[in-house]
Structure 1
């Protein structure tokens, strides 16, 4: 059964609760990470969201498809040995799907370029691994789910430092980090580096405030996964 927007909303609320839980555990243990890092190093903050997305592939389990979403799940790379993905779906020796689930709370200026480089680099690396025959015979399906804090730091116009040597794409002029993430994921999907992506804007402690663009929404994500599930089901039943 396809997950509803209300279920995604609940998963985002659980994201905030998970962050608070990690911080509290570190306070009680006497070990506090710098800044807000302590809220995420425990690894539970995105569990509800990962569970929801992984469950979209559940109809394939009766065919022997495996859905992994906990522990270390490395997939072969091409430019590096391997990379861990948050959700990995496999059938025998074939990679059916791989999905990243990430978040950003605060530190927008410091982390935007890092997140951008990771998203682009991870996709390029795994596609080359597929082309090299390391991931099976069927083209894999790649997804990206991103939770972004809504606040002054992510919604106000970015004050870029320095002038680029050449004219930058005007679409980035007078844009916020939220808008830049929207453009990032929209273009990653359009250029087929990812089959689907989902950008969720949320205020601290709340559910989904906004899904900035239909092309990178929960609706588009679940529809794309449903198509992938039907495709794999057809292939298996035709064996």
Structure 2
């Protein structure tokens, strides 16, 4: 695959269509109230399509419907997990056997009644102001993962083994030409990490500024390092824009290891150990 030439897949086509729909509607209805881009995300349901696709795959893999939880913070049964640095965190999709909500019989701390967390997935999206907001998205995700594993180590999920699967899915509006466009980095105090030098060894020692990786490349670096550090077990990075939003192939994957198909495959490989039939 040529550098920065995205390829198409069908895993999240329906989800991306759903992601665009409220943006289009809200942009027409309230385009001047808070800015079309922000209003397009205020509906609160832009990621529902991704949730539906993931749940479809889980059910097809044999996961019991009662083990899948996706309720928002204000629903009767939110997909909340106990945290370490805060009281709780609402996740986009959870797979949990023997949830307390099921009122499973037996001893809470015994088998088979004890709750068992199998997977948790976080969604993030971004439509506008990539340069201004990307670091905020990354910082939120680092914080959520750090809190998750601290809670896990504190035995808040009861079981320390087997280890739950933590996933991160991101969809953003990127114009195709943005994906490979270098972005300026200022690093006046210490040498830069070589990965951010954008293939320019001299930039590592720069005390002023230099052209580093594009915003999309920075996300790739971020996700690959998060997986390498075991903060996340799987990650997905896909992009779309207005020019392809209405196409049958309405999003692109620029990094095969971070595709929707790879993300679903990693999740299901983990899940099948718990639902072998």
* 1:123 and 2:145 matched: yes
TM-score normalised to the size of structure 1?
Answer: 0.85
| Partner secondary structure for residue 142 of structure 1 | strand
Pair 90,24 (structure 1): closer, same or farther in 2 beyond 3 Å: farther
CA displacement at 1:91 relative to structure 2: 0.7
* 1:169 and 2:169 matched: no
TM-score normalised to the size of structure 2?
Answer: 0.74
Pair member with larger Rg = 2
Instruction: Look up the match of 2:13.
Output: 9
| Partner secondary structure for residue 57 of structure 1 | helix
Q: What does residue range 50-199 of structure 1 map to in structure 2 within 5 Å?
A: 50-58=51-59, 59-62=61-64, 65-72=66-73, 73-92=79-98, 93-137=115-159, 138-151=162-175, 155-160=180-185, 162-173=186-197, 174-199=212-237
Instruction: Look up the match of 1:46.
Output: 47
What CA deviation, in whole Å up to 9, does each residue of 1:63-99 have, x standing for no partner?
Answer: x752122322322111122121111121111221111
Pair 210,7 (structure 1): closer, same or farther in 2 beyond 3 Å: closer
Contact 1:22 1:44 in 2 (8 A): no
Pair 154,32 (structure 1): closer, same or farther in 2 beyond 3 Å: farther
Length, aligned pairs only:
227
Distance 2:215 2:147 in 1: 25
Structure 2, unmatched stretches of 5+, are 1-7, 74-78, 99-114, 198-211
Runs of 4+ more than 4 Å apart: 24-27, 152-155
Distance 2:34 2:95 in 1: 32
CA displacement at 1:199 relative to structure 2: 0.3
What CA deviation, in whole Å up to 9, does each residue of 1:168-196 have, x standing for no partner?
Answer: 22222321101101111111112211110
Query: Which is helix-richer, 1 or 2?
Result: 1
Contact 2:9 2:252 in 1 (8 A): no
Distance 1:32 1:66 in 2: 41
CA displacement at 1:154 relative to structure 2: 5.5
Distance 2:48 2:69 in 1: 12
Contact 2:94 2:119 in 1 (8 A): yes
Structure 1, unmatched stretches of 5+, are none
CA displacement at 1:53 relative to structure 2: 1.5
Give the RMSD, CA atoms, in angstroms. 2.4
